[in-house]
Chain A
Amino acid sequence: MQKNRLTWMIGGPQGSGINASAEVFAKACSRAGLRVYANIEYHSNIMGKHSFYRVRVDDDDVRSYKDKADILVALDQETLTGDGDHRRWATHYGHLAEINEGGGVIFDAEIGFDPKASGRPDLRFYPVPFMEIIKKALEEVGKGDQARRYEVMKNTVGLGASLALCDYPFDLVAEVIRSQFKGKRSEVGELNVRAAKLAFEHVRETGDAKEFPYTLKPGREPKARILAKGYEIHAIAKLKAGCAFQTYYPISPATDESVFLERQQRDYKLLVVQCEDEISSINMAVGAAHMGVRASTATSGPGFALMVEGIGFASITECPGPVLVMYQRGGPSTGMPTRQEQGDLQFALHPAQGDFPHIVIAPGDLRECYQDTFSAFNWAERYQMPIIVLSDKKLASVYTTIDKLELKWDQIDRGEMFTGSEWTAVDAKGPNDAGSQTGHNGKGGNGHGDMDLANVKEYLRYAFTKDGVSPRSRPGTVGGRHWVTSDEHDPDGHITEGVEMRVAMMEKRMGKLRLAQKAIPQEQQYFLHGPKDADLTVVAWGSTKGTILDALKTLDAQGKKVNFLQCRLMKPFPADAVAAILRAAKRIVSVEENYSGQLAQLVQEQTGVMISERINKFDGRPFSEDEMTNALAKVYDGAKAEAVVTHVR
């Protein structure tokens, strides 16, 4: 009997509430001290199309999903056998093929499915009369005739039935269900508890349910953990960092973050603005950041495509922000709106015309999402440039246990500020074009002046300083008046096309990247996981981190010496350190969820190291632990890296 290690899966048409039951199940496990990794796959569709949720539960830390589940709850036929029979292009061939040997299948007895025709004699099938159970629960409160209105409770019935199979204490789940229905809705909560209980009893009484080989028991660990989704973590990091202004335009899968923040507006004194499009989102945030508030936005590829001019604008104007959390999804164009892809790394690195500084960081898990989003606000103000935090659909929607969230670098740093009490000296390290350095009351700043630099006693927004960072003044500050322009400009912020001034301003702005590179903690830039000395070095970034770490555990147990270079800071890229690690590596393979190997390209550009062995997956679904383990094991054993890994077999 396998204890406390199973994957539970529920599938059904969108709108049938599978999210609710999967999340209740996940929460009930997490609260009892078990570790959970749950992820959802869904269509870009409101109602009717197939979606499914996997919940992996374990005593040990889990950071990825497995190919196969142990218990499947099917609310419809398609969950069992796929859509190959009624759709031109199959999105899946049914989850029956994705159940471990001896696993259990709970299905709605009404769909008329015949287990004998399943081709899986090894599985245990549990037909459950979903609607009958709902009716029975309703009858107890005199609403027996309204069963159809409560059809969505089918997911709760499936949940109750599953708990009976794995012999999980029902009370733990009942408590979670009740907590989801508070106040006026508590009556509905009780109905759900009742329906789940009836299903639980129904299955317990069914033949062999008691001998089901997988069981779940509350863990021994304290309930200190939280169960969170990535978008919540990005949002909480923004709150913690003092973000006061968030803009957005609805787009999957980024919207959830903004809606989460919208709910916190009153309590946290945060203003969230839904804009007319993403061009407006980014530029409103730029306007707010120039005013001195910490401003941010969130979007996905198509929205980012609209935002790009605002990023260049923020950078040339040395705007202290904004922070942009970019949730990658399947591209190009509208692509696959609700599916996973790491396809926007190169886009995030090169979003707009000209050369300009900005920082791009790609957190690998929820803890890093928290740290990097928080740090981003400090960097935005310290280096006066826009910051892109590259997240993705997988990180956004994964629902997983994490230990207490901690900020490793937890100080708020607002960078250099002009307070109005003193003027900013012009450091004469600037260009020789003295005429362009006049103060705003000088004799013309457009290359026409002849002011003596030493006598400039006024604040200059873009003053040349030793490190290239000019103290910013909050508009409204007496004596801090200045201009901001998207044109090339002089220290006062007036337009110039002066030759020396242009060169000096480019160098001033671009030089700030070196400053950031030096100051950002090394372990936030890159990290070498696993043994220093390995036969194979995996190079990857972003949300594949957990999957690779889980795979490495298995490979290690097989005696395969593999380590993993996680690249996190993408711009400025830690080229020297990465080059040193890769030059010392025996064999290198990159792993990415995109077509072209965008990190491999970046590594080659920055270090000269060509990674010719690449494992790429671009079917819109993240790597499973098994796919990762198998692909790496094959490469380790000498096979050439497979170009494509895909779910459809």
Chain B
Amino acid sequence: MSVDAPVKLTLKDYKSDLHNDWCPGCGDFGILTGIQMALQQMQIDPDKLAVFSGIGCSGKTPHYINGYGFHTLHGRVLTVATGGRLANTGLTVLALGGDGDGYGIGAGYFVGAGRRNLDFAYIVHNNNVYGLTKGQASPTLSKGKKTKSMPEQAIQDGINPVAMAVASGYTFIARAYALEPKYLASIIVKAVEHKGSALVDVLQTCPTYNDLYTKEWYEGADLPEKRSRLYKLEEKGYDGKVQDVTDAQEIVAKKAAAVARSYETDPIPIGIYYQIELPTYEDAVGQRIPALAEKPLVEQDVFHRDVTPLLEAMR
């Protein structure tokens, strides 16, 4: 875009024209819309956007977004995204994946990314099932639960992504709901603008395979008095942001509060559970390799290196 004549990007500018093959009514549509709304609100240049995803229904998301898209391997999205981000810090990096992808097969990388506090946002499509393989239990489905295509009840317990993120070191931890794309978009904006590793766990419906946690269930249609099974943390006066990053007691208290809230099941809190401004991995790299504080790795001239001093030392 020309600097002197800025053109405001519209939502359409963030959509690719690819035919979408998700099931009708899939929660992924809400997440896709939420992402595109957030990108539009931030006016992110699609040429400077890199969207990474894992494998599964959610993995297809980058193909529907106008930007550089990387549809990687099952469970490995954070590793590829980390490499991409470190190579070119000039790009905005979004990582996407399912709950099986991120909390099951990719759990090790979920922890690794949290420890690094790399500056990127990770959006997890959390629908409690493995959709693309036809509805097996995902790592977030609780013990004893059985969705319609499971032959038996879940024999092992589900994990708590928010608590896992707290323990791993994510510096922005939030939860949203796929069928409230506007609110989701507002959370994604904050996650992207946050400097550091940001997790947005998105509760999502799978109309085809998850007959437990449906749109109606989230709306509380089955309750004696219909009410949402979700509530927004900030509306109950909760503030998960650490004000004084040097105050170890405040940090522990805020982490403990986030974990406590993450175990609430009815209603389920959405919004920002925890946030802290800490130096990022990029900051640390810039201190170690000053040239990288100036410009991204990909723009460094590394093709005229003099290795003579290294060889001299071997004499």
Contacts and interface: CB of A to CB of B under 8 A. Distances in A.
Interface of A: 30-31, 223, 225-228, 232, 236, 239-240, 242-245, 247, 264-266, 268-271, 273, 275-277, 279-280, 283-295, 309-310, 313, 405, 412, 440-446, 448, 474-487, 493-495
Interface of B: 16-19, 21, 46-48, 50, 52, 55, 60, 62-63, 66-73, 76, 79-88, 90-91, 108-109, 111-112, 285, 288-292, 297-298, 300, 302-303, 305, 307, 310-311, 314-315
B307 A240 contact: yes
A476 B79 contact: no
A441 B16 CA distance: 7
Given A242-B305, A474-B298, A276 B17 contact: no
B87 A283 contact: no
Given A287-B87, A446-B18, A269 B79 contact: no
B69 A227 contact: no
B84 A483 contact: no
Nearest to B291: A269
Given A227-B315, A287-B70, A476-B88, A271 B285 contact: yes
B297 A276 contact: no
Given A295-B87, A486-B71, A275 B310 contact: no
A495 B63 CA distance: 8
B308 to A, nearest CB: 10
Given A227-B314, A266-B288, 5 more contacts: A265-B288, A290-B84, A444-B18, A475-B68, A476-B48
Given A268-B305, A283-B72, A293-B87, A477 B47 contact: yes
B302 A476 contact: no
Given A476-B88, A485-B63, A269 B292 contact: yes
Nearest to A438: B17
**Residue of A285, A448, A474, A485 contacting most chain B CB atoms (<10 Å):** A485
Given A271-B285, A405-B311, A445-B18, A283 B47 contact: no
A486 B72 contact: yes
A270 B288 CA distance: 11
Contact of A444 (B17, B90, B315): B17
A349 to B, nearest CB: 21
A286 B79 CA distance: 9
Query: Which of A277, A280, A480, A482 is the most central at the interface, judged by chain B CB atoms within 10 Å of its CB?
Result: A280
A298 to B, nearest CB: 15
Contacts of A289: 83, 87
B112 A280 contact: yes
What are the nearest 9 A-B pairs in CB distance? Answer: A287-B83, A284-B83, A291-B87, A485-B71, A283-B79, A276-B112, A287-B80, A288-B87, A287-B84
B310 A446 contact: no
A124 B108 CA distance: 58
A445 B18 CA distance: 6
A483 B88 contact: no
Nearest to A266: B289
18 contacts: A31-B315, A226-B314, A227-B314, A269-B292, A271-B289, A287-B70, A287-B72, A287-B87, A288-B86, A293-B87, A295-B83, A446-B19, A446-B21, A483-B69, A485-B70, A485-B71, A486-B55, A487-B71
B82 A223 contact: no
A273 B79 CA distance: 11
A476 B90 contact: yes
Contacts of B19: 444, 446, 448
A614 B161 CA distance: 56
Contacts of B87: 244-245, 287-289, 291-293, 295
Nearest to A232: B314
B83 A291 contact: yes
Contacts of B79: 275, 279-280, 283-284, 287
Contacts of A483: 62-63, 68-71
A271 B17 contact: no
A484 B71 contact: yes
A275 B112 contact: yes
Q: Max chain A CB contacts within 10 Å: which of B16, B55, B68, B82? A: B68
Contacts of B80: 283-284, 286-287, 290
Contacts of B302: 242-244, 268-270, 294
Contact of B70 (A264, A476, A484): A484
B300 A269 contact: yes
Contact of A476 (B47, B86, B307, B311): B47
Contacts of B90: 476
A287 B81 contact: yes
B14 to A, nearest CB: 12
By CB atoms of chain B within 10 A, which of A268, A283, A442, A494 has the most? A283
Nearest to B84: A287
B109 to A, nearest CB: 6
A443 B305 CA distance: 47
B141 to A, nearest CB: 25
A132 to B, nearest CB: 35
A367 to B, nearest CB: 13
Contacts of A280: 76, 79, 82, 108-109, 112
Nearest to B109: A280
Contacts of A244: 87, 297-298, 300, 302
Contacts of A273: 82, 86
A290 B51 CA distance: 13
A486 B300 contact: no
Contacts of B290: 266
Contacts of B288: 265-266
Contact of B46 (A405, A446, A481, A485): A481
A226 B86 CA distance: 34
Given A291-B88, A448-B19, A475-B68, A269 B112 contact: no
Contacts of B298: 244, 291-293, 474, 476
B83 A277 contact: no
Interface centre among A232, A295, A483, A495 (most CB of B within 10 A): A483
B60 A271 contact: no
A245 B86 contact: yes
A412 B303 CA distance: 8
B70 A269 contact: no
B116 to A, nearest CB: 9
B202 to A, nearest CB: 22
Given A284-B79, A474-B298, A309 B73 contact: yes
B264 to A, nearest CB: 31
Given A245-B86, A485-B71, A494-B63, A440 B17 contact: yes
Contacts of B60: 495
A442 B300 CA distance: 35
Q: Residue among A232, A294, A484, A493 with the most chain B CB within 10 A?
A: A484
A182 to B, nearest CB: 11
A437 B289 CA distance: 43
A276 B111 contact: yes
Contacts of B305: 239-240, 242, 268
Nearest to B111: A276
Contacts of B50: 291, 475
A30 B314 CA distance: 10
A486 B63 contact: no
Contacts of A474: 88, 298
B90 to A, nearest CB: 6
A494 B18 contact: yes
B297 A310 contact: no
Contacts of B297: 244-245, 269, 271, 288, 293
A322 to B, nearest CB: 9
Given A284-B80, A292-B298, A485-B63, A475 B88 contact: yes
- Tell me which of B48, B111, B292 has the highest count of chain A C-beta atoms within 10 A of its own C-beta: B292
B159 to A, nearest CB: 18
B44 to A, nearest CB: 12
